Structure 1
Amino acid sequence: MKMTQHRKRNKDLGLAELIAIALGGMVGGGIFTILGISVELIGSLTPVAIVIGGLIAALAAYSYVKLGLFYRDEGATYSFFKRTYPRSKFSASAIGWFIIFGYISTLALYAYTFSSYAISGTDFADNLWLRKGIAVSVIGLFTLINIWSVNGMGKIEDLMVYTKLIVLALISIVLMTHGTTDFATFVANMALDLEQSSLFSILIVSSLTFVAFEGFQLVINAVNEMTDPEKNIPRAIYSSISMAVLIYVVIAMGALFAIPTEEIVANKEFALASGAGNVLGALGTNLVVFGAILATSSAISGTVFGSSRQMAVIAQDGYFPQILGVRKNKSPQNAIIAMALISCLLISVGGLELILEFGSVTFLLVSLLMAIANFKIRKKTNSSTFLTLLSIFGLSIGGILILYYELTNNWQQMTAIVVIYVLLAFGAWKFSFDKKKKLQHK
C-alpha cells in the first residue's frame, strides 16, 4: 500500500497538464503561418480545411493512442516502430533520427516566431541578429525550466496554454463581432469560394494544416510521469486535438470577418495582429502579440519536454551518442540540453522555412508508418481494422498532396529536403552499423 502511494506521488502530470503539453506543442507558430497560405489558396473555406485537417490528425492519433496504451513506452514513435519490427534496426534508427530532427526544426521555428513577435512593435523589429539572440535566449530559459522540475514545468505549461487560448479566442470573437464582414456575407463568400476552388485545393490545404496539429504525440513521451495512462492518454490526445480545431476555426473566422483577404495573404503570421489593431487599436495589436508569445512559449516548453525523452530512449539503444541517454532524477537532462543547442545552431545559420517544411513532411510520414505498424498488430492493440485502414488511406493521401504542393510550388526546396533526408539516413546507418559490429564482437 505504501509503495503504491509512493508511486502515485511520483506521477506528477495529470490530465490538465497532459492536455497543456499537447496543446502547447500544437498551438504554436503554425496556425499563424498556415492562415495566410490557406486564405491565399481557398479564401473563406479555410475553416472547412482546418476541420478536415483535424480529422486527419484524429486518424493519426488513433494509432498513436492504441500503440501508446499497448507499449507504454516514452520513446513513442521510435519505440513503437522498433518494437513492432524488431529486426529492422536501420529502419528504427532512421525513424529516430528523422523524428528528432523534425522536433528540433519546429523548436527552432517556435523560438524564432517568439522573437519576431516580441520585438514586432519596436524600432528593432528588422534587426535579424537581435531576433536570433532573443530566440536563443528563450530556448535557454525553457531548457532551464525543464531541467529544474517536471511538476514545475507542468504547472507553468498549464498557465501559459490556457491563458493563450483565452486571449486568442477573446480576440477572435471580438474581431468576428466588430469586423466589416457579417455572418451572411461570410456565408456568401464561402459559397463563391466553393465555386472557384476545387475539392483538390481544399484537400491540399487540409493536408498542410496537419503541421498545426503536430504535438499530440508529446503526451505519450510523458507516460512514465503521468497518472492513470489508460484513461489519460486517449482523453488528453483527443481532447487536445478537438480544442485545437476549435481555437483554429475561431482564429480563422475572426481574421476573415475583420481583415481583407489580400491583407491576410500579404501579412501572413502578422495578419491577426494587424486586424486586431484596425478594430481595437494598439490594445488589440498588443493582445495578439501577447497571445502569440504565449503560444510559442508553451510550444517550446512542450516540445523540449517530450522530444528530449524520445531522444534519450534512442540514445540508450545506441542510435545516438550514449551520453544523451543519461538521466538525473529520471530527467534526460543531457538530451534536453542537446535539443536546445542544436536548435540554437539552426537559428544561427538560418534556413528555418526549409527546415519547417522538412518537419511537416516528416511528421506526416511517421504518422503513416505508425498506422501501418498498428495495422500489423491490430489484434494485440485491440484496434478496429476499418479505422486503421482509414488512417492509412487518409495519411497516404495527405502525404501525396503535400509532396505535390511542394513539387509544383518550390521544387528546389523539395530537393533540399531530400538532401537532408539522405544526410540523416547516413547518420542513422552509421550508428546502426556500429551497434551491429559491437553486438558481433560480444
Structure 2
Amino acid sequence: MTQHRIRNKNLGLAELIAIALGGMVGGGIFTILGISVSMIGSLTPIAIVIGGLIAALAAYSYVKLGLYYRDEGATYSFFKKIYPNSHFSASAIGWFIIFGYISTLALYAYTFSSYAISSTDFANNIWIRKGIAIAVIGVFTLINIWSVNGMGKIEDLMVYTKLVVLTIISVVLMQHGTSSFGTFIDNMALDAEKSNIFSVLIVASLTFVAYEGFQLIINAVNEMTNPEKNIPRAIYSAISLAILIYVVISLGALFAIPTEEIIKNKEYALASGAGNVLGKLGTNLVILGAILATSSAISGTIFGASRQMSVIASDGYFPHWLAIRKNNSPQNAIVGMAVMASVLILIGGLELILEFGSITFLLVSLLMAVANFKIRDKTASSTFLTALSIVCLGIGAILILYYEFTTKWEQMMAIIILYLILAVGAWVYSKKNEMKGKSS
C-alpha cells in the first residue's frame, strides 16, 4: 500500500489549489450575496473579507494538524488521535463532517442544473432539474474513479477558467455599471450609518460557508508531492484567491445591479446584471462561470470527502464496504457519497440541508482549533494564533446560531432533529466498535 501511494503522488501545488478553490467557489457566494446585501448593503465586501480572515484563522489549525499527522482522514482522524478514548465523539465528528459534505455536494449539483437549463424551456421543470443534477454527480463520480491525475487536470481547467470568466464579468460590470466609485463610497457611508458592527459580523459568519473547501487539500495528502511545503501554500493561496474573487464579484454586482434586484434574484442577480450591461452574451458568460464553479465544486468535494469517508469506515464508524479500495482509490466511498447526495436531491429541501452544512463546518472548525490548542506544543503552533482562532470561531458560531434562531427558527429545529438522527447513527457504530474492541 505504502509503495503504491509513493508511486502515485500526482498532485502538485496547482492541482491542490484547484481542489480547494473547486470546493470553495461553488454556488455559495451567489446565494450569500443576496442575503448579505439585504442585511448590510454596500458593506458586503467588508464582511466578505472578515469572513475570509476567519477562514484563514480556522485554516491555521488545519495546516498545523495536517503537517503533524499526515493523515487523509483529516478532521476526523485529527480528532480521533487527540481524543483516543472517546469512541462516540470520533464517530459523531465523522458522521457530521461527511453528511455536511454530502449536503453541499447535493446543493452544488442542484445549482449546476439550475444554471444549465436557466435559458431553456425546461427552466421551471423541477424533475428535469433534479435529473440533470443527479447526472452531473454521476459524471464526476466516474471521473474521480477513472484517475486521480485526470481528475486533477480537469479540476485545474475548470477552476482557473471559472476564475477568469467571473473576474472579467465583474470588472466589466464595475466599469459599465450605473454606480460610479464615488457613488459607491457614498452608499457605503449611508449603509454604515444604518447598519451596526453586529450586523456586519453576522454576515461575516454566514460568509464562512463560502470558504469551506480548503480542508479538502489535506484529504489528498497521500497523492500530493512535497506535503510540507504544499499543504500550507495551497490552503493559504486558495483562501486568498477566494477572498479576491468574492470581493470582485460583490463589487461587480453592487456597481451594476440595483440593490432590490440583488436581494430578489439572489444567485441569479449576477446573470441578470450582466444581461442588462452586455446583453445575452453577458448572461451566457455568467451561466458558464456558474456551471464551471459548481462543476469544480462537485469534483473537489467528491475527491476529498470520499477519502475521509473511507478512513472513517475502515475504523468501523461507517459500514465496512465503504472502506474497500481499488488501486488506492476509495471507489466505494465515492459511489456511496454520490448515491446519498442523489437521494437528497430527490427528497428536496436543499436550503435546509445547506444551512445544516454551514453550521456543521463552522462548529467543526471550532472543535479543530480547540483540539490543536490542546497539542499546540507538538504541532509547533502559536498559542496566540490558536487562541485567537478559537475566540473568532466561537463568536462566529454564536452569531450564526443567533441568526438562524431569530430568522428561521422552524428550519433550525429541523436541523437539530437532523443532528439527533446522525448522533444516533454515530452512537450505534461507536458501540459496535467498543464491543469489537472488547471481544478482540
Query: For 1:11, what is the secondary structure of its paired residue?
Result: coil
Partner of 1:38: 36
Q: Are positions 1:20 and 2:35 aligned together?
A: no
Kept in 2: contact 1:375–1:385 (CA 8 A)? yes
Task: Identify the match of residue 317 of structure 1 among 306, 315, 318.
Answer: 315
Query: For 2:135, what is the secondary structure of its paired residue?
Result: helix
One-letter code aligned to 2:302 = V
Kept in 2: contact 1:102–1:358 (CA 8 A)? yes
Measured after TM superposition, the shift of residue 123 of structure 1 is: 1.0
Q: Matches of 1:295 and 1:22 in 2, distance apart?
A: 12
% same residue: 78
Measured after TM superposition, the shift of residue 8 of structure 1 is: 5.9
Measured after TM superposition, the shift of residue 440 of structure 1 is: 1.4
TM-score normalised by L of structure 1: 0.98
Partner of 1:215: 213
Q: Are positions 1:349 and 2:347 aligned together?
A: yes
CA deviation profile, 1:6-39 (whole Å, cap 9, x unmatched): 9765210000000000000000000000000000
Task: Identify the match of residue 414 of structure 1 among 412, 415, 432.
Answer: 412
One-letter code aligned to 2:100 = G
Q: Matches of 1:8 and 1:90 in 2, distance apart?
A: 33
Q: Matches of 2:267 and 2:5 in 1, distance apart?
A: 44
Q: Are positions 1:181 and 2:179 aligned together?
A: yes
Partner of 1:139: 137
Q: Matches of 2:315 and 2:331 in 1, distance apart?
A: 17
Partner of 1:97: 95
1:303-382 maps to which residues of 2 (within 5 A)? 303-382=301-380
Partner of 2:297: 299
CA deviation profile, 1:326-355 (whole Å, cap 9, x unmatched): 110000000000000000000001010001
Query: For 1:383, what is the secondary structure of its paired residue?
Result: coil
Kept in 2: contact 1:8–1:227 (CA 8 A)? no
Q: Matches of 2:10 and 2:110 in 1, distance apart?
A: 30
1:42-441 maps to which residues of 2 (within 5 A)? 42-441=40-439
Query: For 2:179, what is the secondary structure of its paired residue?
Result: coil
Query: For 2:293, what is the secondary structure of its paired residue?
Result: helix
Q: Matches of 1:309 and 1:187 in 2, distance apart?
A: 46
CA deviation profile, 1:18-71 (whole Å, cap 9, x unmatched): 000000000000000000000000000000000000000001000000000000
Q: Matches of 1:90 and 1:374 in 2, distance apart?
A: 19
The verdict on how the C-alpha distance between 1:150 and 1:189 changes in structure 2, with shifts beyond 3 A counting, is: same
Kept in 2: contact 1:114–1:135 (CA 8 A)? yes
Q: Matches of 1:74 and 1:440 in 2, distance apart?
A: 27
Kept in 1: contact 2:5–2:328 (CA 8 A)? no
Measured after TM superposition, the shift of residue 439 of structure 1 is: 1.5
Kept in 1: contact 2:5–2:223 (CA 8 A)? no
The verdict on how the C-alpha distance between 1:398 and 1:164 changes in structure 2, with shifts beyond 3 A counting, is: same
Kept in 2: contact 1:40–1:265 (CA 8 A)? yes
Query: For 1:286, what is the secondary structure of its paired residue?
Result: helix
One-letter code aligned to 1:88 = S
Unaligned runs of 5+ in 1: none
Q: Matches of 1:214 and 1:371 in 2, distance apart?
A: 15
CA deviation profile, 1:113-144 (whole Å, cap 9, x unmatched): 00000000111100000000000000000000
Q: Matches of 2:151 and 2:70 in 1, distance apart?
A: 22
Query: For 1:17, what is the secondary structure of its paired residue?
Result: helix
The verdict on how the C-alpha distance between 1:191 and 1:259 changes in structure 2, with shifts beyond 3 A counting, is: same
Unaligned runs of 5+ in 2: none
Kept in 1: contact 2:87–2:433 (CA 8 A)? no
CA RMSD of aligned residues (A): 1.0
One-letter code aligned to 1:224 = N
- Structure 1 residue runs of 4 or more that deviate by more than 3 Å after TM superposition: 6-9
Kept in 1: contact 2:5–2:222 (CA 8 A)? no
Query: For 2:381, what is the secondary structure of its paired residue?
Result: coil
